[in-house]
Amino acid sequence: MQIQHTSRHEIHVTEAVKQHIEDKLERCLGVFPRVENVHVILDQEARLHVAEVVVQAAGHIRLSATEKSENMYDAIDRAVEHAERQLRRERDKLTNHRR
């Protein structure tokens, strides 16, 4: 699984934030072996931090989750959890369809 980081509007992403993103993604999305690429986009709108997680998986599956919060870590955590729920839903659709 490849993880890409992008920051918009001159937000400086520290190594601690990058490490937090990688740890959270490895723990949450590691149970989905079909995930090929994850792109995390960090942005700031007024006082809110925005974290967007775009997941590409095998079988032309592309999911996107965006969350806003006053805390960057909280926005990242919530966006990763949202993406994980979407992946679970997609996985369940595939397994139930084949029965």
Q: Which two tokens stand for residue 95?
A: 């397994």
Annotated domain spans of the chain: 2-97
Tokens 């369940």 belong to 92
Please compute, for residue 71, the number of CA atoms within 13 A of its CA located in the half-sphere on the CB side.
4
Statement: 2-97 belongs to CATH 3.30.160.100: yes
SS3 content of the chain, % helix, strand, coil (to 5): 40, 35, 20
41-72 confidence digits (pLDDT tens):
999 988 999 999 999 988 888 999 999 999 99
Measure the CA–CA gap between 91 and 59, rounded to whole angstroms.
Answer: 11
Q: What is the pLDDT of residue 98?
A: 62
Question: What digits encode the pLDDT tens for the residues 1-36?
Answer: 788 888 887 778 889 999 999 999 988 777 788 888
